């Protein structure tokens, strides 16, 4: 009887953790009430859940592939909350592209993972001037090598970025086309 109650309690906890999951169907989707994107295929959306406070979409589970949205981060604000004793990741209007990428490097290495910037180049994003960065991340907890790509732009003193990461083997290549189309459709409201 005691084990039965423990199993029920565990199941209830799992269901509660998953309650912030919703399917984002194809068409126009709004992220954080500000960023509009067009999607061709459904994604699973996690917000303020086990995925953290950053709006995160996934196809296979956020520990496998993660499409993260950093929407309208204001001058003087962090791109995300820092964990424990990690460096604060404060955005400042006027930062250069490499300085903004450094914020994302800090974000993706808070857990002891490694980050290598592979490419940084100007690119159109949010219907204006922005940049694209590509990186490799070796996740510390399981030694999985992830490929990553991000698009970012500063508009009206606010930073907006979309970053996608997935294991280099299979998942990244299978989803990058859809992610590039989605990033190309991004517009601020």
Handedness of CA 140, 142, 144, 148 (dihedral sign): negative
C-alpha distances (whole Å) from 64 to each of 41, 67, 81, 105, 146 are 17, 10, 22, 19, 9
Mean pLDDT of the chain: 87
pLDDT of residue 55: 92
Give 74-106 pLDDT, tens digit per residue: 999 999 987 777 678 999 999 999 999 999 999
Angle (CA) 137 141 145, round 5°: 30
pLDDT band of 50, cuts 50, 70, 90: low
Q: What is the pTM of this model?
A: 0.86
Q: Where are the domains of the chain?
A: 21-188
Residues 6+ apart with CB under 8 A from 119: 132, 133, 134
Query: In CATH terms, is domain 21-188 a member of 3.80.30.20?
Result: no
């Amino acid at each position: 009887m005691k084990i039965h109650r423990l199993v029920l309690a565990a199941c209830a906890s799992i269901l509660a953790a998953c309650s912030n999951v919703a399917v984002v169907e194809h068409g126009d989707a709004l992220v954080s009430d500000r960023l509009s994107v067009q999607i061709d295929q459904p994604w699973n959306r996690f917000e303020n859940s086990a995925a953290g406070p950053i709006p995160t979409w996934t196809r296979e589970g956020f520990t496998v592939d993660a499409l993260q949205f950093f929407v309208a981060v204001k001058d003087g604000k962090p791109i995300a909350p820092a964990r424990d004793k990690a460096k604060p990741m404060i955005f400042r209007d006027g930062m250069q592209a490499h300085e903004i990428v450094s914020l994302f490097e800090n974000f993706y290495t808070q857990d002891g993972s490694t980050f290598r910037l592979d490419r940084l180049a100007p690119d159109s994003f949010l219907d204006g001037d922005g940049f694209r960065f590509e990186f490799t991340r070796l996740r510390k907890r399981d030694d999985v090598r992830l490929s990553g790509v991000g698009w970012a732009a500063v508009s009206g003193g606010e930073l907006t970025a979309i970053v996608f990461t997935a294991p280099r083997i299979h998942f990244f290549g299978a989803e990058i086309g859809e992610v590039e189309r989605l990033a190309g459709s991004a517009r601020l409201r």
